[in-house]
Chain A
Amino acid sequence: MSSSLTEASGLKSLLQSVLKPASARGSRSSGLMRLLGNYGTIFALVIMIVVFTIVEPSTFPTLGNIRNVLTDMSLAAIVAAGVTLPLVAGDFDLSVGYVASFSGILVVGLLSNGQWPVPLAIVTAIGAGLLIGIINGLVVSKLGVNAFIATLGTGTLVIGLNYAYSGGMPIALTHSQSFTEISLGQFWGIPNLILIMATALVLLWVLLNRTVQGQHIKAVGKSPETARRAGIAVDGTRVIAFAISGTCAAITGVLLASNLGSGQVTAGDGYMLSAFAAAYLGSAALHQGEFHIVGTLIGVLTVAVGNNGLAILGAPIFTQYMFSGGLLVIAVALGSVSRRYAA
């Protein structure tokens, strides 16, 4: 039923105050804030590129390094673009990191222990992500559980599955070495990972901006009740958004396992935070506080360029954590400002 639409738990209203802060139009500073909300992320990205180019002219702005940045960000970009869909629909999917870890463990386990053929193992691992996404969507829409809590719950369940399957130990890739070719290979000199990322982003962009389904996801995110009264199947729309998010997380998990050449129990966990940082940074790029695919791509690029520059500068590893964490906070703030001063 629509209980999830009208429920007013403390946590939910807190989250919503972050997601959709009250409008504060008409103040003196709103012009500047709007500028920041629309271009803040792009501004930060350009500044970093300029600074790193000036400081490290021989290593940063090279074709080889651009290739590195794009390859390094490809996995994060796929998860981040995936979570963008539930975000557009108005829902958080906090399970993506755990789903990525699980699908990575699963695919290597099926290959090494089960000796499954590579395509079948991949399809099964991605299918697991799809299934978890559908379950997320059903729990959130049909049972009316707040998405934040629900996906934290299913995510924890997925950790359990992961440990049950792996015994908490990494799984080495003993057969099917060709599996690693997927992430290490190239096509026309372009790394496969970049090509897969580009394909995923284009498909998700088309889905969100050109298909009827994407239009319904946007409508539901703006106002579920308006969407329902316009005849849109709100529950089904939310389920599809979660299903896509779960699928993308699983694709990332499989690619990560291929990249590592093994299944690591917690390898994908960190993608949840980086995905949300990217999506929030992206919501402060161009579309006045709306989550959107191009914005998320800009967000991922911002995080990746920052980390790459810090690494080139030889900054100690802790600065990269501080950079990522700080960026997440700034991203959410920017996204909120952007929404507050929208329109």
Chain B
Amino acid sequence: MQPDERNTIDRGLTTAAPLVTLRNVSKLFGGVHALDDVSFELRRGDVVGLVGDNGAGKSTLVKILSGVFGPSSGEILIEGERETLTPPARAQRHGIETVYQDLALVSSFTVAENFFVGRERSWGRGPKLFQIMNRRSMTSTAASALESLNISIPHLKNRPVERMSGGQRQMAAIARGAFWGERLLLLDEPTAALGVRESREVLELVSQLSQRGLTMLMVTHNLEHLWSVCNRVIVMRRGRKVADLMSSETTMDEVVAYITGAKGPETLSSE
């Protein structure tokens, strides 16, 4: 039985089209195949861990889903409809939010400002030049969104995020993603730069969001972290998808074998 089918059968009651479908997506940078014929489906409520060696194409995959760049070939379907996701503003309109490995927040802005950057609330219509920001509304919404996730960040309306801890920044970035991301939240190595305690907080937040039914795709190097929150694992190697498994039906050893290439790709073609 193929992993993708297993996944579908697990969620056999879902008759609607998958939330997101990637079909034969490739991405070339010059001569480098950052992504090579990658296909998979994300179903509502999936929490997928995306793993692979450095340079395997994980960040590229995230950036294609978040509209940073388009695929060189292949197609992306959102609930069965073929869609273009670039530029990022369009992916956002499709309810896809991203917490980038770097560049997640504007460092000189407060948490409240970052919550709404690019989507500021304002009085007045017409050109942005004439729209006066409604800071009070943005601040109170950001505060209650954080509160509803039990995240406490002091000074969220008057301290620039560059003066906050990495953990606080990451929690704020994820909370923002969860606030705006109606369909899918992409997390690129959310625990990479964090200490043990801060990582645990981030993972608790991710599993809290998963319990609320948010669909997520999380890039990580840490299989412990992956197992603690993800129900499914996709392994990338040299731009290709080499495994797509339910985490309940595989082991860390098997995943490591796929990552290193000790175990080869299964037949994964969907046709």
Contacts and interface: CB of A to CB of B under 8 A. Distances in A.
Interface string A67-87: 000000000000000000000
B122 A231 contact: no
A211 B132 contact: yes
B128 A223 contact: no
B106 A226 contact: yes
Nearest to B122: A212
Given A218-B108, A223-B107, A231-B119, A213 B162 contact: no
B128 A227 contact: no
A229 interface: yes
Nearest to B131: A212
Residue among A207, A210, A230 with most chain B CB within 10 A: A230
Given A211-B131, A212-B133, A213-B127, A228 B87 contact: yes
B160 to A, nearest CB: 7
B128 A212 contact: yes
A225 B103 contact: yes
B29 interface: no
A219 interface: yes
Interface in B140-179: 160, 162-163
A290 interface: yes
A164 interface: no
Interface residues of A, number: 24
A216 B128 CA distance: 9
Contacts of B113: 215
Contacts of A216: 118, 128
Interface in B91-114: 92, 98, 100, 103-109, 113
A290 B160 CA distance: 13
Contacts of A290: 108
Given A211-B128, A212-B120, A231 B106 contact: no
A37 to B, nearest CB: 15
Nearest to B107: A222
Given A222-B107, A226-B104, A228-B87, A215 B129 contact: no
Given A222-B108, A343-B163, A213 B117 contact: no
A230 B68 CA distance: 10
A215 B117 contact: yes
A231 B132 contact: no
A207 B107 CA distance: 21
Nearest to A226: B103
Contacts of B129: 207, 211, 213, 240
Given A211-B128, A212-B122, A232 B160 contact: no
Interface in A230-273: 230-233, 240
A290 B106 CA distance: 14
Which size class do B's interface residues fall under? 20 to 34
Contact of B106 (A206, A210, A213, A223): A223
Nearest to A209: B133
Contacts of A232: 89, 117-118
Nearest to B68: A229
A343 B106 contact: no
Contacts of A223: 103, 106-107
A340 to B, nearest CB: 14
A239 to B, nearest CB: 12
Contacts of B66: 229
Contacts of B98: 229
Contact of A219 (B117, B122, B127): B117
Contacts of B87: 228, 231
A232 B130 CA distance: 16
A216 B108 CA distance: 12
Contacts of B74: none
Contacts of A229: 66, 68, 88, 98, 100, 103
A207 B60 CA distance: 37
Interface in B173-216: none
Interface in B232-246: none
B169 to A, nearest CB: 12
Interface string B216-230: 000000000000000
Contacts of B163: 343
B115 to A, nearest CB: 11
A207 B128 CA distance: 10
12 contacts: A211-B131, A211-B133, A212-B122, A222-B108, A226-B106, A229-B66, A229-B88, A230-B118, A231-B89, A231-B92, A240-B129, A343-B163
Interface of B: 66, 68, 87-89, 92, 98, 100, 103-109, 113, 117-120, 122, 127-133, 160, 162-163
Given A222-B106, A230-B119, A232-B117, 11 more contacts: A207-B129, A210-B132, A211-B132, A212-B128, A212-B133, A219-B106, A223-B107, A226-B105, A228-B88, A229-B68, A343-B163
